[in-house]
A and B are shown apart, each in its own frame.
Chain A
Amino acid sequence: MSAAHIVIDHVSKVFATEGRELVALQDISIEIPRGQFTCLLGPSGCGKSTLLNAVAGFALPSSGTISADGVRIAAPGPDRGMVFQEYALFPWMTVEQNVAFGLEIKGMEKAEIARRVGDLLKMLSLQDFRQRFPKDLSGGMRQRVAIARVLALDSPIMLMDEPFGALDALTRRNLQDELLRIWSELKKTIIFVTHSIEEAIYLADRIVVMTYRPGTVKRDILVDLPRMRDPAAPEFNALKRELGQLVMEEQQRHHNDELRAAAVD
């Protein structure tokens, strides 16, 4: 058995749309060690969310396998908690109920649930919002609840699909710091999808840059800058320039593709 926590082994994903075949992922192999914070980086259409959904078990690969802890992934499960860009909180449940939901499904005792939920709400500074409904919360607060809901599962793996994409810059930085604090405390293995180069460098141990259609691994780099990272530091900016170039090449291909599609119409 390999030492890696998550093994993505020769994964391809093909979608059939209007009789045409669209290769979203092509022969991707990545091994992610336990406790690593990995960012999947690329322009829209590069298949990074498709890959994340495959790890989550929502949409299985067309070929190849993905396994976690040596067990092949075949369905979604609470061992791989997911945080969505759209928050996906249940609007009919209060903050507290949202966080407790996963534990109730597990059949945990009421008192234990209350204790766990209380701890998590405190950890994410949500204790004053426990009785609120999601509609009464700001985007940043909603994403805190979504993170608490996933942490409640106590899953070793956390999957995050552009979780901070819809937030303003300050709230975003705030939540990034919070996430880093939680990660260093709880030692989760995190796969984090983003199209923000700066976000990837700020957060990740390792950045996997993906190509635009078909999605493959363009570059796989380890970020060894000391934490907490300073986005104004020269090393940070050098890396940003390098990654920017890679991502822009793919963005250009995406753009050309769109122009071609428009010309055909």
Chain B
Amino acid sequence: MKSMQWREIGVGMVAPAVVIAVWQAVAELGWVNPQVLPSPLAVVRKWIEYLLPLQPHTEGSWLAWALSGELIVDSITSMYRVAVGFVIGAGLALPLGLAMGASQRVYAWFNPLVQLLRPIPPIAYIPLAILWFGLGNPPAVFLIALGAFFPVLMNTIAGVRQVDGIYLRAARNLGASGSTMFLRVILPAAVPYILSGVRIGIGTAFIVVIVSEMIAVNNGLGFRILEAREYFWSDKIMAGMITIGMLGLAIDVGMNRLNNYLLRWHRGLEH
């Protein structure tokens, strides 16, 4: 078992190693302008530079100093926007989705509006967002919330509607009704769907944060890679992109863990 695992990891490293080797070779042979394609080493050097504090430590806490690097501040800023936007978007979508899934009346009221608004990509709201909220965090958070809203809403509706009738019958037989039925049977039965909506919603929120930072604000990872382009710092663009990739991966791994924990009762669990 163990050796198989290591072997799999080893096999998985081959492709990235080849890509990096070819990239390094191309850069070293001088086939391309380093301003267009910097070498991987240059990108890593830039990434470390970007990560470390700008000023040497003088006074105050070491921790604050260690976290004062541009990359860390940008990452925290971006993740903060994702978190706030997601909580607002999902926080609105969840109750509405539960109501729409559970009640045909509520569904009939809201479904046409939802169907009309849902295909509009959050990006298309950028002009309106700036008109309504000006610049800074508010338009960015608005766009992220919008990006998270629809996936969570649609999956919550579907989750409540697909609840297997046998659970409802069993629960009614045991005497459940009203809020007990909803909170202890329908809601938990819908959790697998809701969680996959949450996962898609966070993914969308993460995409939208990068885009909205390119437009409405002057910090965060999205802003930073756009700024780097102005100065032809392609190594910094790539360093920023790698950071975005790593954060995206971290979110996904975190979500996966949460998923596995919350759905530990569920069949067909992915480990």
Contacts and interface: CB of A to CB of B under 8 A. Distances in A.
Interface of A: 56, 58, 75-78, 80-82, 84, 86, 88-93, 101-102, 105-106, 133-135, 149, 153
Interface stretch (B33-41, B135-143, B168-176, B208-216): B168-176
A105 B173 contact: no
A96 B107 CA distance: 36
A105 B180 contact: yes
B88 interface: no
Given A90-B188, A92-B189, A92-B191, A135 B174 contact: no
A90 B264 contact: no
A88 B170 contact: yes
A81 B188 CA distance: 23
A58 B170 CA distance: 10
A142 B265 CA distance: 14
A76 B173 contact: yes
A133 B167 contact: no
A80 B267 contact: no
Nearest to B175: A78
A161 B235 CA distance: 69
B184 interface: yes
Interface residues of B, number: 20
Given A58-B173, A81-B174, 16 more contacts: A76-B169, A77-B173, A77-B175, A84-B166, A89-B170, A90-B189, A91-B265, A92-B189, A92-B265, A101-B171, A101-B176, A101-B184, A102-B175, A105-B180, A106-B175, A153-B174
Contacts of B42: none
A84 B170 contact: yes
B65 to A, nearest CB: 47
A151 to B, nearest CB: 12
Interface in B152-170: 166-167, 169-170
A88 B176 CA distance: 14
Contacts of B92: none
B266 interface: yes
29 contacts: A56-B173, A58-B172, A76-B169, A77-B175, A81-B174, A82-B173, A86-B166, A88-B166, A88-B167, A88-B169, A88-B170, A89-B170, A90-B167, A90-B171, A90-B185, A90-B188, A90-B189, A91-B265, A91-B267, A92-B189, A92-B265, A92-B266, A93-B188, A101-B171, A101-B176, A105-B176, A133-B265, A134-B265, A149-B174
B224 to A, nearest CB: 43
Contacts of A84: 166, 169-170
Contact of A135 (B175, B176, B191, B265): B265
Nearest to A136: B265
Given A101-B184, A105-B180, A80 B173 contact: yes
Nearest to B267: A135
A92 B188 contact: yes
B266 A91 contact: yes
Interface string B231-271: 00000000000000000000000000000000011110000
Interface string B173-204: 11110001000110011010000000000000
A89 B185 CA distance: 11
The 9 closest A-B CB pairs, nearest first, are A88-B170, A78-B175, A102-B174, A92-B188, A133-B265, A76-B172, A105-B175, A88-B166, A82-B173
Nearest to B170: A88
A75 to B, nearest CB: 8
Interface centre among B176, B191, B265 (most CB of A within 10 A): B265
B81 to A, nearest CB: 33
B170 A82 contact: yes
Contact of B173 (A81, A91, A106, A133): A81
B171 to A, nearest CB: 8
Contacts of A86: 166
A101 B267 contact: no
A166 B173 CA distance: 21
Contacts of A81: 173-174
